[in-house]
Structure 1
Amino acid sequence: MSRTVYLNGDYLPEEDAKISIFDRSFLMADGVYEVTSVLGGKLIDFAGHSKRLERSLSELEMQKPDAFDDLLEIHRELVRLNDIDEGMIYLQVSRGSAGDRDFTYPSADVKPTLVLFTQSKPNLADNPVAKIGIKVISIEDQRWGRRDIKTVQLLYPSMGKMMAKAAGCDDAWMVEDGAVTEGTSNNAYIVKGNTIITRHLGTEILHGITRAAVLRFALEAQMKVEERPFTIQEAQDADEAFITSASTFVMPVVEIDGAAIGTGNPGPVAARLREIYLEESRNAAL
């Protein structure tokens, strides 16, 4: 069955939604995006995603779409129209189309393109992979420098996932100047004793919405948090490792570059944080 999507003010069957071939997201990757999870038909951490979207637009000097203040209702309407119980809503804003290809930005009177669509993901919360964990490889981080802006420039992360797949693994952690930055589509963590270690915020990583919530819950649970770079060797010597993202929540990592982490099974810290995150997020969902 065709999904109903949103495009520039209209709810349309997905096959009828079309944008210009001159749209800058297509020609220049000149666009930003957000992905909001849906659990029980409600939105998880919508306010955080909306705030980060606003920041991304500002950092790229991109206009807000006219419907920016209506995004919550648009998300809710798409959930209703597509009968989404568990899944995700993808939102993308591009700088729009000025009618031809040009490296310079179009004039301020060109309207941004706003697209949203849903993805149904049954068992998103009860993902069986969380019980066995994932395996990752390390790769060189070759992305552009402003990773704190959630742009649609996802070619290298996509290549990283393919490298992991070719190695028989699930994902890749990227390494720059000897330290882990993040995963291809997630933030990375290790656990040593009662201390959770994850890279500090900066332009090197995305300021994850799930990351912020999980670290807050960890501190409330009397866990120690250190925000600093760590190496692959440190990760391999850790007691646990895990990732966070809007689509995986808290996901244990049990192997890095062929070396088992801790016991080689998901550890108690990651399991507890996943439990807390899901419970708290459901309670606060919109």
Structure 2
Amino acid sequence: MIELIIEQRRKNLGGFEVGRVLPFAKRRMVGPFIFFDHMGPLDLAPGVDRGLDVRPHPHIGLSTVTYLFSGEIMHRDSLGYEQAIRPQEVNWMTAGRGITHSERFEHARVHGDHLHGVQAWVALPTEFEETAPSFSHHAGLDLPQWSDVGVHGQLIAGSAYGLTAGARTHSPLFYAHLDMEPGATAEIPSEHKERAVYVATGAVEMDGLRYEAGKMLVLGAAASRVKALERSAVMVLGGEPVGERFIHWNFVSSSKNRLAQAASDWKAGRMKLPDADDEEFIPLPDEPAPPPPPMS
């Protein structure tokens, strides 16, 4: 059963547009997933302007999960990691108490590129919000694959379909990519209370209705199946809720005071930039952080 349909909203990130899905006014999170951006598809010509790059910026209280269908992005962070991500690979960065990173299109500047992928944010449970930051890259056996009639699946994170992915997660969740042939059907894992299906390309059928690319279908607790009406890339995700979370810019926390502190730290230059990318950064936006709760 579908509880809510969320259609992506186009958002300009300064150089290119993404389809913003989460957070949404009527549904801010699905399990621990608090942010979901559909990047592209976008053709980048050789010599593409550096203005498209995502300059160094900070995060707290979350893990970023970057997954590409096509293209290449270079990641650099304040822990010293420098790692290109390519199709069917995962960059998993846990911000915890604070990290900075950049994402640049260096491959495209030389060769041109066709960029298409998804970046999600996973909110950390309260006891891990201030954990030490970390970064890991995953490919191959870290991302188990399987095939069923007309469906080729790849597990991105967590546990589902009898498999477990390599990235360390801090709460129960699942996240997978299903490449579906026309007419193929796939089961949506039902172990968790909150689940969703996102149609990245193609069109699918659920509960007897057709849904085109760019829509997230938030599901009820009952077991569900999805059917591809044409060749489709479908993302399935979900997990256990971690509690209410607030967002200010790139910061996520259960505490509005902590968001204000992170904003102050960034504005004052107290967060280390990546060693290999420290000559520029994205300034703090003008909008204020959410006000702290009233004193009791």
Same fold (TM over 0.5): no
More strand, by proportion:
2
TM-score range, shorter chain: under 0.3
TM-score, normalisation: structure 1 = 0.22
- Could you state the TM-score of these two structures normalised by the residue count of structure 2? 0.22
